[in-house]
Amino acid sequence: MSYSVWRVWVFKVILLSMLLALVSIILIPMIFSDINIIDLKVKKVVNDSKNNEIYLTNLKYNDADGEISVEASRAYTNTNKIGVQNLENAKITKIRSDEILTSNHIKIESKKNQYIAKGNVKYVNKDITINSDKAIYNKKSGNLKAQGNLKIVIKNKNDG
């Protein structure tokens, strides 16, 4: 490889790295505009302008209030619908109460203060385990509405 070709290649790599850093700084706050996040880990950030989507892969974060921890293989939002985040293969843990919600797809509707989970939904807390096809969890009230192929297991208080 000649010196000039090598220089152009290095310049492209540096430019691409700078662009990715800039995209991360701009896009991540757009996706999670209503969530105060700390300790964010992401493998990749992609701007899919063809589908008006921005997505992150292998996402893991804690909210700044110390209330929830989120893990997902993919998180995305439609750039026309800021304030709604979609998570695939997701797990949301409510840290202080040991509540866990897992599902193939979880939609976070920040303005409505709710999570809508679809596909292999599992909700677990210290007293109960609920499996269903779909569930809506209200963050403020703590209420869960589950439907479709319901299986509810109430834990025996004597089991510890």
Domain ranges across the chain = 3-159
Q: Give the separation between CA 153 and CA 61, rounded to whole angstroms.
A: 29
Q: What are phi and psi of 159, to 5 degrees?
A: -75, -15
Residue, of 49 and 8, whose pLDDT is higher: 49
Question: In the CATH hierarchy, which top-level class contains the domain 3-159?
Answer: mainly beta
What tens digit of pLDDT does each residue of 83-114 get?
Answer: 677 888 988 888 777 789 999 999 988 788 88
pLDDT digits over 117-136, tens only? Answer: 999 999 998 888 999 999 99
Q: Is 60 in contact with 41 (CB distance < 8 Å)? A: yes
How far apart CA 33 and CA 134 sit, in angstroms, is: 25
